[in-house]
Amino acid sequence: MKVTLNWIGEFLNAERLEPENIASALTMSGTEVKKVEYIGDKYKDIVIGRVVDFSPHPDSSKLSLCEVDIGSSKLNIVCGAKNFKKEDRVAVALPGAKIKNIIIRKNKIRGQISEGMMCSEMELGLSSESEGIMILDNNCKIGDSFSKSVGLDDVVLELEITPNRPDCLSVIGIAREISTLIGAELITGKYDFQKRLNIDSKFKIEIDDYNLCPRYSAKLFRNIPNIQSPQWLKNRLILCDVRPVDLIVDLTNYVMLETGQPLHAFDKDMLYSNKIIVRRARKGENIKTIDDSIRILDDDALVIADEDKAVAIAGIMGGKDTEISENTKNVLLESANFYGPSIMRTSKKIGLRSEASNRFEKKIDPMLTVFTIRRFEDLLEKVANFKTEECIYDNFKKVKRERKINLRVGKVGQVLGKDIDAGLISGILTNLKISNRIKDNIIEATVPSFRYEDLEREIDLVEEVARIYGYDRLDSIPTSASNRRGKYSLYQKTIKDIRQALCYIGLVEVINYSFISAESLKKFKINLEDGYKNNVEILNPINEDFKLLRPMLLPALMKNIKDNINHNIKDIGIFEISKVFKKNSSGKLPFEINMLGVMLTGKAAQKGWDEEERAFDFYDLKGILEFICKRYYPYGSLRIKERQYRFFHPRISGIVNIEDLDVGIIGKIHPVIIEETETGQDAYYMELDMDKFINNIKETKKYKFVPAFPSIDIDLAIVVDNKIKSEDIVNEIKESGTELLKKIRLFDIYRGEQIEKDKKSMAYSLSFRDDARTLKDTEIEIIVNRILESLGRKFNARIRE
């Protein structure tokens, strides 16, 4: 919200408001000042001039030579506009002035001296377009500074008003805050309007539900003057980001900015009768609003209606049919109070937020309605010398708007960590217009109407005291609870360690949005796989790409490698640890599973001066899997169970099984998907359920004495059918290798000329050891023979000579 200091100054009994001090005091008391804008500076060296005379430029039919009186002297100015006449008051930019970032200089235009420039509204930044120069009111004093003459000698404060302070959404509200902060008296008009309420019954206001509309006040203005708003008023609106329209609209806006109470002006003659009804909309009832849209309403929307139809959506926007126009003669001014949550709901439902709805949402003080009408009358009288009728119509079901709260002085010290003197607390509350008295270390406070919604409890008053006392004056106190021991849980520690370990072995961590499109799931055929089918759907996604919560990380990681390949980074190892989501039964929160995804593509090793190039393949990925596994399952068995997934290569696709628990999947991305996603190179992917992986870890690490006797290592190469799996051979070797066999390591696979077609040679290194003695070669020979025998029997294997 923007307010100007001059405007605020009208309500404060203060000599001078120092912008920086005011800004800092507001910020440090909870009304953050985002920006301080010195408007006057923009109009430096622009003064009021009087056109003395003008004649055509000798060399140009478009230009005129003007003589302009600026009080201290008369200037010759070449001007391209035609819309002025002798004696007009104009804004003259003198040499040195800055107009649209260009510095004005004395120069020659087509051979004629020009000592300045007569400015248009656009050039002065007062409108986005304008024809001709700006003609000012004849009351403007020649030679005076332009900004001062038209109310632009001002400072604009841009404020952030928190939702608990609807009272601060107004110039008077801010003036009230400042009055508390700097100790200056707040002056608002004291109007005695009781005598004027409902003194005639020419107009009727009917309210169906006082819960939704606690108060509706209105006033008739007949034969309104058909004049423009004065420049100063327009300028104030412009400074507060409101576009001037016509006198009545400008005044409703101006007064709303000033008091915080939204007003709406109806063209009285367009209303069906002398009656306003505040009621719920009929289901499906529609209304054309002033922005020319047809709005279809639900029966929980509140409307302002005449006896024929809805003429406004209460608190949100007026109707087109009853809108003020240049032909409007009689105006019905509405100043009403609507129930915030209802306005919020309707505004959300029809997707329409307005300055008014934004204010009503936050619950406005119903005491403001008539006061605001009075301000409107005052201003109308001031700018148009217009006297109105006496009667103000007011339908108000009186509600209690005063609240008593007891504040314990001790509580203030308890919450803030610093004891504050009762007298000081009482003084702060008094400055906040909260009347109070001290009684036995308890302050009995009475909250005024304008803070009724916000200040309900003792703690609310503690906050008021704290923010005015100043947070910077409160002590910084080490917390006594800090003698506790902080730590990561085992789960958290493991996640952190896995992340770190994966980085150490060369992977880069990515983080993607949790959202995915249905199309993407389809593209990866994930939608066809059981276990990934039940997706969680967002009701109001940003767009189709963000429609679902992802059931797996694969598509995002594929996109990551593709994007990077497009940037010519082609050798990539990435991982992500994020939640994936699966639908639960209705009404329950979805399942969230913490998933680790790893993807490899491109080269595992670049060609180097001493290294051979090598592409990533399945075994690089499996190596990473084994690496993680060994850290946490030093004695656990890891198996890849063959299982086809539609997104994996049909022959390179499996389930990761650790200690008989399926914890993930691993495989090569299906070539068709590589093609369809235009990735252009093979990729390998693995996904591990971190919850299962970590929760299944057993504390198995135990000390075993370091072997004292040497081992005997035997190399064994056997020839078997190509289709025999290494895993089966190893299991068989283990079976017949006795407990003396401590380690088996595959060190070579050979296929080729030296052995038959369809066969392969598998070479294993076997390590035998006894913890109690040195083994003899002869006993190992017996074991190895037994191994060979069983391999021969099982796999038709023979030893390779």
Partner 1 sequence: MSKKEKNIDQLEKKIKTELDNFTRELETVKNLIELDKIRTKYIGKKSFLIKTLKNIGDLPDDIKPIAGKKSNTARNKVESDILKKEKIFKNIEYENKLRKESIDLSLPGRSTGTGRKNIISQVVEEIEEIFIGMGFEIAEGPEVETDYYNFEALNTPRGHPARSLHDTFFISKDILMRTHTSPVQIRYMESHKPPLLIIVPGKVYRRDYDVSHTPMFTQIEGLVIDKGINFGNLKWTLETFAHEIFGKDRKVRFRPHYFPFTEPSAEVDVSCNICGGKGCRVCSGSGWLEILGAGMVDPNLYSFVGYNPEEVSGFAFGMGIERICMLRYGIDDLRLFFENDLRFINQF
Angstrom distance (rounded) from CA 245 to CA 675: 60
Under the criterion CB under 8 A, does residue 746 sit at the interface with partner 1? no
| Signed CA dihedral, 3, 5, 7, 10: sign only | positive
Angstrom distance (rounded) from CA 547 to CA 540: 8
Residue numbers 640-699 binding partner 1 by CB under 8 A: none
Under the criterion CB under 8 A, does residue 479 sit at the interface with partner 1? yes
Under the criterion CB under 8 A, does residue 612 sit at the interface with partner 1? no
Residue numbers 401-440 binding partner 1 by CB under 8 A: 414-418
* Interface pick for partner 1 out of 34, 243, 382, 639 (rule CB under 8 A): 34
CB nearer to partner 1: give 30 or 230: 30
Under the criterion CB under 8 A, does residue 74 sit at the interface with partner 1? no
Angstrom distance (rounded) from CA 281 to CA 190: 37
CB nearer to partner 1: give 298 or 460: 460
Structure tokens that stand for 284 in this block: 């499906």
Q: How far is the CB of 41 from partner 1 (least distance, A)?
A: 14
Structure tokens that stand for 606 in this block: 């670049």
Residue numbers 276-315 binding partner 1 by CB under 8 A: none
Task: Tell me, residue by residue from 36 to 55, as one string, x for binding to partner 1 by CB under 8 A and - for no binding.
Answer: x-------------------
Residue numbers 568-587 binding partner 1 by CB under 8 A: 569, 572-574, 578-579, 581, 586-587
Judge contact between 464 and 432, C-beta under 8 A: yes
Under the criterion CB under 8 A, does residue 538 sit at the interface with partner 1? yes
Angstrom distance (rounded) from CA 709 to CA 626: 29
* Interface pick for partner 1 out of 488, 619, 709, 747 (rule CB under 8 A): 488
CB nearer to partner 1: give 603 or 800: 603
Under the criterion CB under 8 A, does residue 779 sit at the interface with partner 1? no
Q: How far is the CB of 590 from partner 1 (least distance, A)?
A: 5
Best CA proximity match to 467, nearest among 166, 164, 186, 37: 164
Q: How far is the CB of 420 from partner 1 (least distance, A)?
A: 12
* Interface pick for partner 1 out of 100, 292, 351, 539 (rule CB under 8 A): 539
Angstrom distance (rounded) from CA 49 to CA 146: 9
* Interface pick for partner 1 out of 144, 592, 620, 770 (rule CB under 8 A): 592
- Burial label for 477, CB within 10 Å (0-12, 13-18, 19+), is exposed
Q: Within its chain, how far is the Cα of 398 from the centroid?
A: 39
* Interface pick for partner 1 out of 102, 199, 296, 474 (rule CB under 8 A): 474
Under the criterion CB under 8 A, does residue 518 sit at the interface with partner 1? no
CB nearer to partner 1: give 181 or 724: 181
Range in contact with partner 1 (rule: CB under 8 A) among 169-177, 477-485, 679-687, 736-744: 477-485
Best CA proximity match to 187, nearest among 195, 196, 197, 179: 179
Check residue 748 and report its DSSP letter: E
Range in contact with partner 1 (rule: CB under 8 A) among 60-68, 252-260, 435-443, 470-478: 470-478
Under the criterion CB under 8 A, does residue 609 sit at the interface with partner 1? yes
Contacts from 94-98 at CB under 8 Å and sequence distance 24+?
94/45, 94/46, 94/47, 94/70, 95/45, 96/44, 96/45, 97/43, 97/44, 97/45, 97/46, 98/42, 98/44, 98/45
CB nearer to partner 1: give 305 or 669: 669
Under the criterion CB under 8 A, does residue 126 sit at the interface with partner 1? no
Q: How far is the CB of 633 from partner 1 (least distance, A)?
A: 22
* Interface pick for partner 1 out of 42, 165, 401, 646 (rule CB under 8 A): 165
* Interface pick for partner 1 out of 57, 363, 375, 769 (rule CB under 8 A): 363
Rg of the chain (C-alpha set):
41
Under the criterion CB under 8 A, does residue 459 sit at the interface with partner 1? yes
In DSSP notation, 129-148 reads: --SSPPEEPTTSPTTSBHHH
Judge contact between 502 and 496, C-beta under 8 A: no
Q: How far is the CB of 755 from partner 1 (least distance, A)?
A: 34
Strand partners, 549: 515, 536
Range in contact with partner 1 (rule: CB under 8 A) among 176-184, 358-366, 380-388, 678-686: 358-366
CB nearer to partner 1: give 360 or 371: 360
* Interface pick for partner 1 out of 10, 509, 626, 727 (rule CB under 8 A): 509
CB nearer to partner 1: give 274 or 594: 594
Structure tokens that stand for 265 in this block: 């002006």
Under the criterion CB under 8 A, does residue 485 sit at the interface with partner 1? yes
Angstrom distance (rounded) from CA 567 to CA 563: 7
Amino acid type, 98: K
Q: How far is the CB of 169 from partner 1 (least distance, A)?
A: 11
Under the criterion CB under 8 A, does residue 490 sit at the interface with partner 1? no
Phi then psi dihedrals of residue 642, to 5 deg: -65, 135
In DSSP notation, 76-116 reads: EEEE------TT-EEEEEPTT-EETTEE---EEETTEEE--
Range in contact with partner 1 (rule: CB under 8 A) among 56-64, 257-265, 337-345, 758-766: 337-345
CB nearer to partner 1: give 156 or 549: 549
CB nearer to partner 1: give 444 or 620: 620
Under the criterion CB under 8 A, does residue 506 sit at the interface with partner 1? yes
* Interface pick for partner 1 out of 476, 585, 722, 778 (rule CB under 8 A): 476
Interface with partner 1 (CB under 8 A), residue total: 100
* Interface pick for partner 1 out of 335, 564, 601, 653 (rule CB under 8 A): 564
For residue 406, the tally of other CB atoms under 10 A from its CB is 13
C-alpha distance across the termini of the chain, in Å: 90
Helix (H, G, I), strand (E, B) or coil at 490: helix
Best CA proximity match to 26, nearest among 440, 544, 470: 470
Best CA proximity match to 146, nearest among 242, 49, 38: 49
Q: How far is the CB of 572 from partner 1 (least distance, A)?
A: 7
Angstrom distance (rounded) from CA 397 to CA 215: 7
Under the criterion CB under 8 A, does residue 462 sit at the interface with partner 1? yes
Q: How far is the CB of 467 from partner 1 (least distance, A)?
A: 4
Structure tokens that stand for 710 in this block: 């040497």
- What are the Cα distances from residue 353, in Å, to 213, 214, 311, 337, 345? 19, 21, 18, 17, 11
| Signed CA dihedral, 315, 321, 322, 323: sign only | positive
